[in-house]
Structures are given as C-alpha cells and as structure tokens.
Amino acid sequence: MEFNKKKAGTLVAALVVLATTIVPMTAHADNAAPKGDLIFVRNQDFATFDPDLAQNDSLFIQQQIFEPLYMISDDGKSVSPYLAKSAKVGKDKLTWTIKLRTDIKFSDGSAMTSADVKFSLDRATKGDGWGFLNTAIDTVTAPAADTVVIKTKFAWAPLLSDLACFSNSILPNKFGGKTEAAFLKSPIGTGPFKFDHWTPGTEIKFIANKNYWQPGKPYLNSVTWKYVVDDNTRELMLKGGQADINEEPPATSIASLKASSGIEVGLFPAAQSRYLMFNEKIPALADVHVRRAISYAIDRAALIKVVLAGNGFASNSILSPNTSFYDPNSGGLQYDMKKAAFELGKSGFAKGLKLELLVATGDTQDNAVANILQASLKKLGVTLTIVSQEPKVKRATQKAMTYQMTTSGWTMDITDPDELLSFALTPEGGTHSFYTNYNNEKVNAAVNRGQTNVDPKVRQNAYSYVQKTVAAEAMMGFLYNAPYKYAWTSKITGFYVTPTYNYHMEDVKKA
C-alpha cells in the first residue's frame, strides 16, 4: 500500500496521548467455583480454529479459547488493554511499544510471553484471510518477555483496533511444540474455556479453564454449541429446556419467543449491514445508471416487514449506524420507482434488460429479498431470473466473480471502519472491492486519509466523502440493518452481544 508519507507524518500528538492514557482492565472475583453446563443451539456448524480463516460460523466460538491484546468495549466504539497493559507510540509515529500483562497463562499452565505475541502477530500478518488488517505492520520484535515492539510502515490510526480483532488472537509460540495441523485440532489459548471435544456436524464442547487470568471466572463449568439446522427444532429445544441459548432465531419467531414464559429475547444493536452486490464486470452493471435504478427499485419497507418481521431499518450507507464515523446523511438511495425509471432511461439499457440474482438454496431471507426485488424490477421492464446455489457454492461463485447480482453482508469485527473500507474499497483488501470490481481512485485516497490521521474531524470528513460517493454511485444496493437476535432461558444471566458480534461467556452464569 502506497501512502503520501508527508501526510502520514502529520499524525498528531493526540495519538500518543490516546495510547499512553489507556489503563489496564481491573479484574474482579465473584465466584471461584465454575458450575453449570450451558448449551447453545445454532444453525451453523463450527468450521475451524484458525483465526485467519474464521467466519461467523467459527469466530464467536474461537473467542472463548483465544484472546487478543486489546478488547472491544460493550458499545463497540473503543478498545482497552486486555492481554496487554499499555501501548505507547514513539515520536516517529511508527514505533509502538506494548507492555504485556505478566499474569497470563495458557490453559496448559504455561506463561504467555512476548515470544507468543510475536509469533501470533507475524502469522496473522501473513494470513491469506484477515492478513489485510495488518497491512501497515512492518516488523514485530520481542526485546523482553513483557514487551513487544511493533513498527508500522506508515502512521496508522487503526492499529489498536486491529490488535483487538479475533484474527490477531494470541497463540502459543510455534503452536506449543506441535505441528500447525495438530494444534488446530486441539488448541490451547488464554481464554476462559479450553477445548474438550468436537464432533463435526453435531457439536463442539469447551470446559472451564482453571488457569484463567481473570479471578473467579469463568462461572460456567462447560459450554456446548450444538448444530441444529431446523429453526423450529431449535425453538422447541429452548422452550423445552434442552437448550439454554438459541443463536439467531428467525425474525418471524421473535414474537412467539417474547410471549413464552421463562424465555428472554435480546435484540442487540449490531454493526452489520445487508447488501445487494453488483458485479461491474457485467456490462449492464458497469453502467452507474443501471445500478442507481436497481437501488431505487429496492422496496426496503417490504423487506423489513417480510424478512425481518419489522425488526430492523432501511440502510442508507455502506457503514452501519453502529459503526464509528457513520454519516447519517450519506445519501444512500431509497425506494422510489419514478426515480428508478428515470435512471434506467438515462442508461444504455433504457429498452430493458435481463439480469440474474444469485441466492442461497434454502435461505428464506435470501429468497424473500429476491422475490420482492423481482416484482419491482418487472415494473421497470427488467427481467430478473433467480438462480439458487448451495451456500458454500454461492460464496465460491461470488469470490470467483462469475455472478451478476447476489446478496451479501458484513459485520464489523473491530471498532474502526477501516476493516470494511479496506476490504470493500481499496486494492489492498484483495477482494476486488468486495467482489464487485468497483474502483474509484478518489475514494481510495479518502480511505487512506482516514487511515493515516488520528484527528477525528479529518477522519470524519474522509469517511463521509467515502460514504456519500459510493452511495451516489450505487456501488452496492444498501438493503437493511438488523439487530443480532438471541433467545435464552431465564436461568441464564450476564449474556450480552456487542455491536461487533463478540460475546464473553466468562461473564455468563446459569442458575
């Protein structure tokens, strides 16, 4: 990634203040004896213990084994030291000295040191999955057991947020003497739980880590995630006492769950968005007026009613409202069939065209979006053919960019918008702009300005420009923002999901 080094050098002294005034988290002890065996039910099977490959199917579970140097706050807007004690950036604005806690042990009882941190960050930076987050990192050294020095290639505002991402979790140096493959089958970490067993396609179970560094935690003796694909079965298991927490029940079941005795429902504010993706390799979708016409033709009110059962709101930006630097005035195109017809009339396809929309087989939300959009586009003279593929095949088709239009989504994993904007808008993200082939050099430059300045006003101006430009050019069709949906029995206390989709099972108790 090439940056203007003179501009990068203007990173103000506030960055030093930010890094040096953060104080370590103070642990507390309420209960020294773990008890209670908790069961999650979910419609996704666990996939991997590799932090670099983690997606929504695995990352929440991984986080109970592995932990990062910094932790995201409950409101998803800031970070604070976790396995680290403090961070200080030097006068060169490039050299970060990070002091580590000295009371951290892995679940096998071995002490965590700077060698583990260096190994983990070096591995994460080379990663093919989430390595783009560490693009700014030049070197990581370990001058002392409790000290790590990170040198960046250029001044980099999101560094502490990047270090709070699950992809930068701390693993034992050289996998604790095991091969990588052996370690990932039976991992150890600094987290509140340790691995017990995994039966692919059925369940994965963790038990309490008695060496956990937060005194008195975890409160639970074990946590088991069971893979139950049928929505109704999961709901019946929760109501019948065979499960304690139901992960992401369908929106259509929320009202029933709220009315059930002994069941609690949480609709947690989410830093997530759902999109309609346009592949600009397709001539019609390379036409900005066609993209704008389709965006205007999305009946978001109908989507929220049908798909979300009213639990959500129309999206107007590439960023969700629960993301830092979100601009409510970003101008995302909203439902207006007259404007849709006007835009199509300005395009090179005013006489009509045929397009395909790729959806996931068996995904009721995907298919509902497709049917509503198909009906709207028909009024414009656009024939939309719906093509179904199995979820894994659909993802592969999207990555190969052999689709025309499809649905996708994004959940922020860090407190800084740089994660999504790098992934979706810059060449360094390695995804051809979220697999859309969109490219705007002025947008790329604005993303870089936001990355290399700590001044909130400068960053807001940069990111507002980005949001308004990609909205006006209909880089994607912004669909809706929905909360995270969970339901649990009244026996469970302390369960909370952050906007960045983290949850801390060390804080959960079962009566």
Torsion on CA atoms 116, 119, 120, 124, rounded to nearest 10 = 170
Looking at residue 81, the DSSP 8-state letter turns out to be: E
For residue 41, pLDDT beyond 50? yes
pLDDT confidence of residue 364: 80
pLDDT tens for 184-231 read 999 999 999 999 999 999 999 999 999 999 999 999 999 999 999 888
Please tell me the least confidently modeled range out of 98-102, 231-235, 273-277. 231-235
Q: Which of 349, 331, 333, 337 is nearest to 297 (CA)?
A: 337
User: Which of 13-22, 42-51, 177-186 bottoms out in mean pLDDT, i.e. has the lowest?
Assistant: 13-22
The tokens describing 155, both together, are 């001044």
Task: Note the pLDDT of residue 137.
Answer: 97
Can you tell me the distance from the alpha carbon of 468 to that of 319, in angstroms, rounded to the nearest whole number? 11
Q: What's residue 391's pLDDT?
A: 83
Q: Assign residue 137 a region: left if phi > 0, alpha if psi is -120 to 50, beta otherwise?
A: beta
CB 119 within 8 A of CB 171: yes
Band (pLDDT 50/70/90 cuts) for residue 32 is: low
Buried b (16+ CB within 10 A) or exposed e, 314-326: bbbbbbbbbbbbb
Predicted pLDDT at 81: 98
User: Could you tell me which residue, 127 or 28, shows the higher pLDDT?
Assistant: 127
- Residues 6 or more apart from 338 whose CB is under 8 A from it? none
| Mean confidence (pLDDT) of the chain | 91
> pLDDT: is 329 or 361 the higher one?
329
pLDDT of residue 1: 37
pLDDT classification of 301: cutoffs 50, 70, 90: very high
Query: Which residue ranges form the domains of the chain, and what is each CATH number?
Result: 1-22+73-174 (3.90.76.10), 31-65+191-268+484-511 (3.40.190.10), 272-481 (3.10.105.10)
Per-residue model confidence (pLDDT) at position 89: 95
Distance between CA atoms of residues 405 and 147, nearest Å: 48
Q: At 477, list the tokens.
A: 């069709």
Spatial separation of the C-alpha atoms in residues 465 and 110, rounded to whole Å: 49
- Listed in sequence order, the residues at least 6 apart from 229 whose beta carbon sits closer than 8 Å to its beta carbon are 43
pLDDT of res. 26: 42
Residue 14 predicted with pLDDT over 50: no
With cut-offs at 50, 70 and 90, classify the pLDDT of residue 13.
very low
Residue by residue, what is the 3-state secondary structure of 257-308?
A: HHCCCCEEEEEECCCEEEEEEECCCCHHHHCHHHHHHHHHCCCHHHHHHHCC
Q: What's the confidence (pLDDT) of residue 29?
A: 41
User: For every residue of 107-125, which 3-state class applies, written as one string?
Assistant: CCCCECCHHHHHHHHHHHH
Closest CA to 132 of 427, 398, 429: 429
Segment holding 354, helix H or strand E: strand 353-360
**The pairing of beta strand 484-489 with beta strand 272-278:** unpaired
pTM reported for the whole predicted model: 0.84
